[in-house]
Amino acid sequence: MNAKPVRYWLKVMNRPELLRPGDTVAIIATSGPCDSELLAAGVKAVKDMGLMPWVMESCYLRHGFLAGADDIRLRDLHMAFAAPYVRGIFVARGGYGAQRLLKDLDYDLIRCNPKVFVGYSDVTALHVVFNQICGLVTFHGPMVASDFGRGLDPFTMDAFKRMIFADRDIRLKPPSKKGDFSLVNPPGRPLTIIVSGYAKGPLVGGNLCLLAASIGTPYEINTHGCILFLEETGEDPYRIDRMLLQLKYAGKLSNAAGIILGDFGPQTLEDLHISINELIIPEGKPTLANLACGHTSPTLTLPLGQCIQLQLRG
């Protein structure tokens, strides 16, 4: 029986067992259809990491702007979580369509079978419910066709492996008992402190337009006491301002313990200065910007749902 969506943050997060060479990972298209050549190249890259890819039917289908009808994408997702030999689930690409699956997800099944789950962009809709409703830690990171298929730069590949593999020396440290977490940008891309201060809480968020679209639904993001991560791509400053304003009016900025701004390409911090100065800074939340994460290369892989600390000294 499916669990009903809930609006509170689950206090106990279930971090999945990390991957080891030889593990089977399911590759699934939860949103838009895949380019066959990029998919094939991405699957080869997964094999080259020492993993055994199980490419699911949704990766080969096209239903208009979707990778197969909703029931097929939903079935693939449930099969991937239910299969005992599958240790991880890598999303092939974003696009649009993940939100259409939320009301029919078997949340009990997913909660009881924590696995490494990786994706970003439209996959934000799934990250939010897996974090909030199922209590799972998930990973905001590169996707099989969109990123692996085009070839990952060394920084991105290293950051990805160090986050999801159990037998790697972790540079992007998962929290210790004290909740420490290190954010290390690529060389030449300095982090920017917008508001100094200290904050601690679960790292949540993802793509700004998906988070704004969740407001007013049973699946809206809960930012209370959390570190809110935001990224976006290809949007004009006024559209970014409108989405930030929607989060602000819904109390998502004021409820957050801290804020991290990722990549907003092609917009820079200077392009977004009105929104930052008039919408974000007045909230007084410790805020870090220019994190290399989102629709960008190089990019970090982040553990959503994991408790982290921000210690920002201007």
Tell the residue number behind the tokens 């699934």, with chain if given: 28
Question: Could you tell me the CA-to-CA distances from 86 to 20, 68, 70, 132 in Å, in that order?
Answer: 12, 22, 22, 23
Q: Are strands 302-304 and 258-261 parallel, antiparallel or unpaired?
A: unpaired
Give the residue from 130, 96, 294, 92 showing the smallest Cα distance to 206: 294
Dihedral sign, Cα of residue 112, residue 113, residue 118, residue 121: negative
Q: Are 95 and 122 in contact (CB under 8 A)?
A: yes
Which entry of 121, 146, 214, 275 is annotated as an active-site residue?
121
Greatest alpha-carbon pair distance for the chain in Å reads: 50
Which entry of 58, 140, 146, 231 is annotated as an active-site residue?
231
- Asked if 295 is an active-site residue, the reply is yes
Q: What is the C-alpha separation between 176 and 200, in angstroms, rounded?
A: 13
Task: Copy the structure tokens of residue 218.
Answer: 């049973």
- Asked if 121 is an active-site residue, the reply is yes
**Residues with catalytic function:** 121, 231, 295
